[in-house]
Chain A
């Protein structure tokens, strides 16, 4: 969801009707986007990822203009008869080209162009990987145009430089080269556009100084290259929309590779929908006239038939490919708040999960024993979970952690409680805390290679002996779990020797309790005795 700042004055001028800020905001918010800020000169909008045609000012204005019922000019593609010869360039196999005639490039228009180009590079282009766009002064291009892969030692004068450089030097020495060089560096042949005078474009890195756009440029040659055919087409059609809205004449180009194609691929998308389907899906009946107006508001043309309609989406709407997309646009045009919400007469019985019911019972029990509940993250780290507890173990590790505090899943709850106590040593004692939560252990046999266990852990930090009370609480929890338990003295590095007991039910260990080893207390800087218990409530697999 990109956030884009538009020039408010240019926007209003393009729409063709003066609108108050409040009106603008309402229209924009009715079209999926969200207005974040409106100032005197600018308007900051969060756009949804599907409406890439609205990422550029001209496309944004067109959608708004249509929505308020004004007419938008039809954008046509003429044939320039120009031929671009395409060789195979495996690192960027897809291209589209076009020529824009009669441009008037005032300073602010050039600025807007550069801005839109960058937005398209970042969004559809995914940082120029999928798509890169080059704009050139068409009148500076001479003779035959070729797209081909060349050696890294070929030379040209890149944009902003005064000397010829080899392509490898462009990667090594220019700012853009350093930033985007990684996209092609491993390829044998690097992509370039050449004319009779040599290289004039080196996508996805830099254009040439020779063909650069200036305020005197009258005609523009567009090159779009990329690794994704659909994204290349999408970027090109948004550029066509942009220049078309500016009133320029757009000419297509033949591209002759293994096959000959014509770009831009500016084709409307017709979608048929039965009228019954519209009524069934939206729960509202619309007349032909209404449907016509609603779809026009969203930029469609429409053919009305007896039982069905054909909605024709403009060539820049890449989010429209099935019935449902048209149905949504009808709903948007009608206004979500114009529908009267309805509750269907569906009877179902609601129910809480068993594991949650038991968890709640144990929660209430522990509150009765004066424990404060805590809620902490499932993610923890090696230090807290193993080292400070003086044990070893295997957790599920995250490959891309963002903080050293959260690098793996917890496999037991007690370290969470110890960590909590260690952060509250200034707070009056006794401190009685508990948590009910999930631990996640590796489990090769499960489909997700993990095992999740719902557990409860409680701790008492206070002067005095609470071993016996812990045992009482364990017995009470067992009652709620409806299990018979047995106790067995054992050893555990986190606990004082002779003060650690394992809890068994039907031969399976389901928990333990005891008094924490003073060395562990020291590790956590908790200078008061702690008695603790941990028990399994339930196990779950996907």
Chain B
């Protein structure tokens, strides 16, 4: 073997060589076909030329920098998915755990458990996609408590409406399902997922879009802590300043809107939040404050990508995806 390695192949016994080749320890190659390239100009360098050392005997043609490149399209992660991933990592850094809920929801979890009265305008067919059939809420005690709460505070409750199947219209449905599962405090969870709305599609509306929501539940939380978390979460927008404004959501009180100051754009609405009303938490036997927040993830993505049309986030335009 040593002799072969050193190129003294003539000194090796022919029989031994045969066995070595059979055992695939040695490979027989012939470079005789390269003989004719000697002194010539070649375009493509080959592995044989390098192994045999013949590369020293040939002239390699020069390339010009003016050659047009081949059209090769790199594989890429969708820009929106990338931003979602960044936000997820950011939230995980703040100690939030990711959760999920189903697209096809029972109206109960989407609205009733959030103390939205049966005849709330946002529950009508202009705001929610309905599906044939009824679902089943297995948490019988929560069902009963929610029923009692609606009857006590709103004076009525449409049980049949609560059973109806829908496509979830808000990710708060995911948060409220989590309330049903709380066993130990503190709880910090988030979700970034699809919601569905029967909107006419235009630059500002798409029938589906992502919402980013989360809750914090613990003893002794107060309004200042809500603002504290919001200020922290707003940092994902990269803004310099945060300001808050009172707002209204049916399931939180107080309710807050958050604005972030971003360079030339000025104040941009970054999200909404609040403390769940007792009418929401009591049916779940939760007696501590639950901070609930939502982040305008679509808006964030549009800002980062410099687009003004939400449809690009779900683009069917391959050219744009290849270039962005």
Would you list which residues of chain A between 309 and 365 have a CB under 8 Å from chain B? 321-322, 324-325, 327-328, 331-332, 336-337, 339-344, 346-353, 355-356, 360, 363-364
Asked if B7 is at the interface (CB within 8 A of a chain A CB), the reply is no
In-complex Cβ contact of B318 among A331, A343, A355, A372 (8 A): A372
Known: A282-B222, A324-B277, A372-B76. A542 touches B101 (CB 8 A): yes
Q: Is B256 an interface residue (CB 8 A)?
A: yes
Question: In the complex, are the beta carbons of A346 and B218 less than 8 A apart?
Answer: yes
* Chain B residues, CB < 8 A from A284: 223-224
Q: Does A20 have its Cβ within 8 Å of any Cβ on chain B? A: no
Q: Within B57-92, which residues are at the interface with A (CB < 8 Å)?
A: 71, 73-78, 80-81, 85, 88, 91-92
- Bound-state CA distance A398–B74 (Å) is 38
Docked Cα-Cα span, A344 to B216, in Å, equals: 11
Q: Are B100 and A350 in contact (CB under 8 A)?
A: no
B254 contacts the other chain (Cβ, under 8 Å)? Answer: yes
Question: Do residues A336 and B256 form an inter-chain contact, with CB atoms below 8 A?
Answer: yes
Contact A403:B201 (CB < 8 A) given known A356-B88, A423-B316, A424-B319:
yes
A179 at the A/B interface (Cβ < 8 Å)?
Answer: no
Interface residues on B, range: 35 or more
Are A126 and B119 in contact, with the CB atoms below 8 A?
Answer: yes
Which of A331, A341, A356, A431 has the largest number of chain B CB atoms within 10 A? A341
Contacts A49-B248, A377-B207, A423-B316; A339 near B223 (Cβ below 8 A): yes
Q: Which residues of B contact A449 (CB under 8 A)?
A: 104, 131, 133-135, 165
Min Cβ gap B68→A in Å is 13
Residue of B nearest to A369 (CB): B75
Question: Would you call A401 an interface residue if the criterion is a C-beta within 8 Å of the partner chain's C-beta atoms?
Answer: yes
Write out the residue numbers on chain B whose beta carbons fall within 8 Å of the beta carbon of A542. 101-102, 177
Query: Could you give, for residues 312-324 of chain B, a 1 whenever the CB lies within 8 Å of some chain A CB and a 0 otherwise?
Result: 0111111101100
Q: CB distance B95 to A432 under 8 Å? A: no
A50 is an interface residue with CB less than 8 A from chain B: yes
> Does the CB pair A324–B246 fall under 8 Å?
no
Contact B228 A402 (CB under 8 A): no
- A-side contacts of B54, CB under 8 Å: none
Stretch of A24-32, A56-64, A103-111, A247-255 at the chain-chain interface = A24-32
Closest beta carbon of chain B to A247's beta carbon, Å: 30
List B residues 218-248 near A (Cβ within 8 Å): 218, 220-225, 227-232, 243-248
Q: Are A375 and B248 in contact (CB under 8 A)?
A: no
Q: Assuming A348-B186, A372-B318, A452-B102, is B253 touching A325 (CB within 8 A)?
A: yes
Chain A contacts with B in 29-50, Cβ cutoff 8 A? 29-32, 48-50
A466 sits at the interface (CB 8 A) = no
Q: Interface-forming stretch among B18-26, B31-39, B44-52, B191-199? A: B191-199
Find chain A residues with CB under 8 A from B153 CB: 321
Asked if B98 contacts A356 (CB within 8 A), the reply is yes
Asked whether, in the complex, the Cβ of A432 is within 8 Å of the Cβ of B75, the reply is yes
How far in angstroms is the closest Cβ of chain A from B209?
Answer: 9
Which chain B residues border A447 with CB–CB below 8 Å?
106, 135-138
| Residues of B contacting A398 in the complex (Cβ-Cβ under 8 angstroms) | 129-131, 167
Are B224 and A372 in contact, with the CB atoms below 8 A?
A: no
A373-B76 in contact (CB<8A): yes
- Interface size class for chain A? 35 or more
- Minimum Cβ distance to chain B for residue A274 (Å): 15
- The residues of A that contact B112 with a CB separation of less than 8 Å are none
B217 CB to nearest A CB, Å: 10
Give the complex CA separation of A356 and B253 in angstroms: 33
The answer to whether B222 and A280 touch across the interface, beta carbons within 8 angstroms, is yes
Residue ID in chain B nearest A49 by CB atoms = B248
A367 to B77, CA, bound (A): 7
Interface residues of A in 403-438 (CB under 8 A from B): 403, 406, 409, 419-420, 423-424, 427-428, 430-433, 438
Among B130, B225, B246, residue most surrounded by chain A Cβ atoms (within 10 Å): B246
Question: Does A292 have its Cβ within 8 Å of any Cβ on chain B?
Answer: no
A29 contacts B245, C-beta separation under 8 Å: yes
Q: Is the CB of B88 within 8 A of A400?
A: no
State the CA gap A375–B318 with chains docked (Å). Answer: 11
Known A-B contacts A350-B93, A431-B318; A344 and B220 likewise in contact (beta carbons under 8 Å): yes
- Partner among A343, A369, A376, A448 whose Cβ is within 8 Å of the Cβ of B135: A448
CA gap between A355 and B98 in the complex, in Å: 10
Q: Check if B99 is an interface residue, CB within 8 A of chain A.
A: yes
Check B318 against A378 for contact (C-beta < 8 Å).
Answer: no
- B306 interface contact, C-beta 8 A: no
B121 at the interface (CB under 8 A from A): yes
B246 touches which one: A31, A352, A369 (CB < 8 A)?
Answer: A31
Q: Could you tell me if A49 and B121 are in contact, using CB atoms closer than 8 angstroms?
A: yes
B92 A343 Cβ-Cβ under 8 A: no
- Is B278 an interface residue when CB atoms closer than 8 A count as contact? yes
Quick check: is B132 within 8 A (CB to CB) of the other chain? yes
Interface centre among B77, B105, B231 (most CB of A within 10 A): B77
Contact of A541 with B by CB under 8 A: yes
- In angstroms, Cα B229 to Cα A343, docked, is 6
Chain B residue at smallest Cβ distance from A2: B121
Residues from chain A with Cβ under 8 Å of B247 in the complex: 32, 48
- Contact B207–A402 (Cβ < 8 Å): yes
Chain B positions within 8 Å of A, measured between CB atoms, are: 71, 73-78, 80-81, 85, 88, 91-106, 119, 121, 125, 129-138, 153, 155, 165, 167, 177, 186-188, 194, 196, 198-201, 206-208, 216, 218, 220-225, 227-232, 243-248, 250, 253-256, 275, 277-278, 289, 313-319, 321-322
Interface residues of A (CB under 8 A from B): 1, 29-32, 48-51, 126, 130, 229-230, 280-284, 321-322, 324-325, 327-328, 331-332, 336-337, 339-344, 346-353, 355-356, 360, 363-364, 366-379, 396-403, 406, 409, 419-420, 423-424, 427-428, 430-433, 438, 440, 447-450, 452, 540-542
Sample of 18 more A-B contacts, CB < 8 Å, known A336-B244, A370-B75, A372-B318 = A31-B246, A328-B246, A331-B223, A350-B95, A363-B81, A364-B77, A367-B76, A370-B73, A372-B322, A373-B81, A375-B81, A376-B316, A377-B207, A378-B196, A409-B104, A423-B317, A448-B102, A450-B104
Query: What are 6 A-to-B residue pairs whose CB atoms are below 8 Å?
Result: A280-B220, A341-B231, A348-B96, A373-B78, A449-B104, A450-B104
